[in-house]
């Protein structure tokens, strides 16, 4: 389970090739083994020290993915990843600024604007868009607040020649606007509108100056541009045809602002002043892997729709040593969910198949920022709108034997998971030993923010009904002490059985588990 949802301003993607290592043999299963015994055997292997904590950016996560694929292959469960295999490549990359220089030249001399403390380059504006250039020079033009859309009482771009110029504007609301229009301008989408309108005038570069809280966030963005943290990113290799885009703060930008600002916010050329900027980027790619498998449905009319089951195969790798142990085994987080999904898939394969197909996805990169589920939902191996529900299992093997937390039926927007939540309650109550359902965390406003912290969230964002199953946090969370000997395997088996029963009930229903108002 990830600590928090991460807001990434700049994204790009890597392009490494798949690992060539052979899939290791799956552990043998005895004919009389129970699910709890199988879970015990597999989790001790999956969360063994030899896996070195399964951190997504290392070969150990790829080994974990191949371990899961071997189990599926041995059970005869069909692959549903890339190119007819079990693995789906998830490209990550490290992109950082190796060097940058920004200079303003005026009649009184040259002023250097340091990277990070004064100006930040934006290497990419988003997946699928052309890339900004990394070198630009030209005369400076101040474009006020960058407003040109009707309804704001001014057009800051009117009468300005912007072709091949360096255009500066302030990303804020001008004085005199009512609160509704100020709020509209401070919405992040408004920045994109302003940038788009200016780009249509073909400047050489655009410098956006922030104020207030947004300006205070720039140091954190600067740190992100200079470190080598892994991110799920669109490729930074491609034609660079857009203007250079730079972010800065008004408090550090006297050389970029006209005399008399903010009292005089009139758009105008900054006569006698020119700007030159150059950015040198470094990018390297790392590939990690989701594992995807499918059990075909039995109903020809419904088999092309899916109930998805999810867990995450990665953990946090090597940590500072505690009592001589530095390997975070991640037995509960989320070895418990990953091994439970294997057993659920094996059982579903042996039993009569439900009407809809069952899709099993072991996501990678959850601990880095839900990267595997973000990639799968944006590059699905089945049509995303054919997934009628997603059941996420993350940390399901600890704490009180009869307690189970549900997140989603109340947290997801527009009540989209409320019907699915009712199915969960119905199936649970019909079981021979129902769990005591704890709903304390099922609120997006809860301080722990658990609704945003596991892979179900990326499915929910696309309107898919979700339920997140967990048995809760404990003192070993994200520590080297999260070991397989602390798992309650009978409880883990019961949770896995319940989730499979819920998924089967949804898969046999002729309708999607959505409120009537949301059914299409």
pLDDT tens, residue order, the chain (520 aa): 775 332 222 222 222 233 333 334 445 555 557 999 999 999 999 999 999 999 998 999 999 999 999 999 999 999 999 999 999 999 988 777 889 999 999 999 999 999 988 899 988 886 667 889 999 999 999 999 999 988 888 999 999 999 999 999 999 989 888 888 888 887 777 888 899 999 999 999 999 999 987 888 788 777 766 665 677 765 566 788 999 999 999 998 999 999 999 999 999 999 999 999 999 988 778 889 999 999 999 999 999 999 999 999 999 999 999 899 999 999 999 999 999 999 999 999 999 999 999 999 999 999 998 999 999 999 999 999 999 999 999 999 999 999 999 999 999 999 999 999 999 999 999 999 999 999 999 987 888 888 999 999 999 999 999 999 999 999 999 999 999 999 999 999 999 999 999 999 999 999 999 998 888 6
DSSP for 114-174 reads -BTTTEEE---SSTTSPEEPSEEEEEEEE-TT---STTSS--TTTT---TT-EEEEE-SPP
Q: Residues 83, 119: one domain?
A: no
Do both 218 and 367 map to the same domain?
no
The whole-number pLDDT of residue 445 equals 81
* Residue 343 shares a structural domain with residue 470: yes
The CATH number covering residue 487 comes to 3.40.630.10
Assess whether 290 and 237 both reside in one domain: no
Structural domain includes residue 400? yes
Residues 289 and 359 placed together within one structural domain of the fold: yes
Q: Which of 200, 203, 195, 196 is nearest to 133 (CA)?
A: 203
For residue 275, being part of any structural domain is answered with no
Q: Which domain holds residue 142?
A: 114-252
Residue 500: phi and psi, rounded to 5, are -65, -40
Q: Is residue 219 part of a domain?
A: yes
Per the domain annotation, does 55 fall within a domain?
Answer: no
Q: What is the 3-state secondary structure (H, E, C) of 203-218?
A: CCEEEEEECHHHHHCH
Q: What angle do CA 166, 168, 172 make, to 5 degrees?
A: 160
Number of domains comprising the chain: 2
Which residue reads 């021979």 in tokens? 432
The pTM for the full model equals 0.70
Q: Is residue 6 part of a domain?
A: no
Separation CA 59–CA 82 (nearest Å): 19
According to the model, what pLDDT value does residue 30 have? Answer: 52
197 and 83 within one domain: no
- Say if residue 454 is in the same domain as residue 487: yes
Residues 6+ apart with CB under 8 A from 502: 391, 423, 424, 427, 428, 467
Question: What pLDDT shows up at residue 39?
Answer: 98
pLDDT, position 98: 86
Tell me if 314 is assigned to some domain.
yes
Q: Are residues 185 and 331 in the same domain?
A: no
What whole-number distance in Å separates Cα of residue 388 and Cα of residue 519?
11
231, 252, 273 — which closes off a domain? 252
Instruction: Tell which of 198, 232, 252 closes a domain.
Output: 252
Integer angstrom CA distances of residue 457 from 250, 310, 312, 409: 36, 11, 13, 12
Does 348 lie in the same domain as 318? yes
Residue 365 contacts residue 372 (beta carbons within 8 Å): yes
* Residue that has been written with the tokens 């588990």 in this structure: 513
Asked if residue 106 is part of any domain, the answer here is no
138 & 248 share domain: yes
Q: Within this chain, do residues 444 and 295 fall inside the same structural domain, yes or no?
A: yes
Q: 438 and 505 share a domain?
A: yes
Q: What is the pLDDT of residue 153?
A: 83
Residue 159 lies in a domain: yes
What CATH number has the domain bearing residue 242?
3.50.30
Which tokens hold the place of 52? Answer: 């070195």
């Amino acid at each position: 389970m990830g600590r928090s949802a991460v807001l990434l301003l700049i994204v790009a993607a890597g392009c490494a090739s798949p690992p060539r290592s052979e899939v290791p043999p799956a552990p043998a299963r005895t004919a009389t083994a129970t699910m709890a015994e199988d879970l015990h055997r597999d989790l001790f292997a999956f969360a063994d020290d030899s896996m070195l904590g399964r951190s997504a950016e290392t070969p150990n996560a790829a080994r974990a993915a191949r371990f899961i694929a071997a189990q599926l292959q041995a059970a005869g469960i069909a692959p549903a990843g890339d190119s007819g295999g079990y693995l789906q490549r998830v490209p990550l990359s490290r992109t950082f600024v190796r060097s940058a220089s920004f200079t303003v030249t005026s009649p009184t001399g040259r002023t250097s604007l340091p990277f990070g403390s004064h100006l930040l380059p934006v290497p990419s504006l988003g997946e699928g868009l052309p890339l900004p250039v990394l070198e630009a020079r030209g005369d400076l033009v101040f474009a006020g607040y960058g407003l040109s859309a009707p309804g704001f009482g001014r057009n800051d771009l009117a009468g300005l020649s912007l072709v091949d110029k360096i255009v500066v504007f302030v990303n804020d609301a001008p004085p005199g606007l009512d609160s509704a229009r100020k709020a509209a301008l401070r919405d992040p989408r408004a920045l994109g509108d302003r940038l788009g309108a200016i780009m249509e005038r073909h400047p050489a570069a655009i410098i956006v100056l922030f104020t207030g809280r947004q300006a205070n966030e720039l140091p954190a963005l600067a740190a992100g541009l200079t470190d080598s943290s892994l991110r799920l990113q669109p490729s930074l290799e491609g034609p660079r045809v857009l203007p250079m885009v730079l972010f800065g703060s008004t408090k550090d930008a006297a050389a970029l602002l006209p005399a008399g600002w903010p009292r005089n916010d009139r758009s105008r050329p900054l006569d006698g002043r020119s700007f030159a900027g150059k950015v040198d980027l470094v990018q390297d790619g790392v590939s990690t892997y989701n594992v995807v498998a499918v059990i075909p449905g039995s109903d020809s009319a419904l088999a092309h729709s899916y109930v998805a089951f999810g867990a995450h195969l990665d953990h946090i790798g090597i940590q500072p040593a505690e009592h001589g142990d530095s390997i975070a085994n991640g037995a509960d987080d989320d070895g418990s969910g990953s091994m439970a999904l294997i057993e659920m898939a094996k059982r579903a394969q042996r039993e009569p198949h439900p009407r809809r197909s069952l899709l099993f996805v072991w996501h990678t990169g959850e601990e880095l920022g839900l990267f595997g589920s973000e990639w799968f939902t944006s590059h699905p191996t089945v049509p995303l709108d054919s997934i009628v529900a997603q059941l996420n299992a993350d940390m399901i093997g600890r704490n009180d034997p009869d307690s189970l937390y549900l997140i989603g039926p109340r947290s997801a927007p527009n009540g989209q998971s409320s019907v699915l939540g009712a199915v969960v309650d119905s199936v649970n109550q019909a079981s021979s030993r129902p769990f005591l359902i704890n709903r304390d965390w099922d609120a997006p406003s809860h301080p722990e923010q658990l609704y945003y912290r596991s892979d179900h969230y990326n499915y929910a964002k696309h309107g898919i009904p979700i339920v997140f199953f967990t048995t809760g946090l404990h003192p070993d969370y994200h520590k080297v002490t999260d070991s397989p000997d602390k798992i309650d395997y009978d409880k883990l088996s019961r949770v896995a059985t319940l989730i499979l029963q819920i998924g089967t009930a949804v898969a046999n229903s002729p309708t999607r588990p959505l409120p009537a108002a949301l059914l299409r």
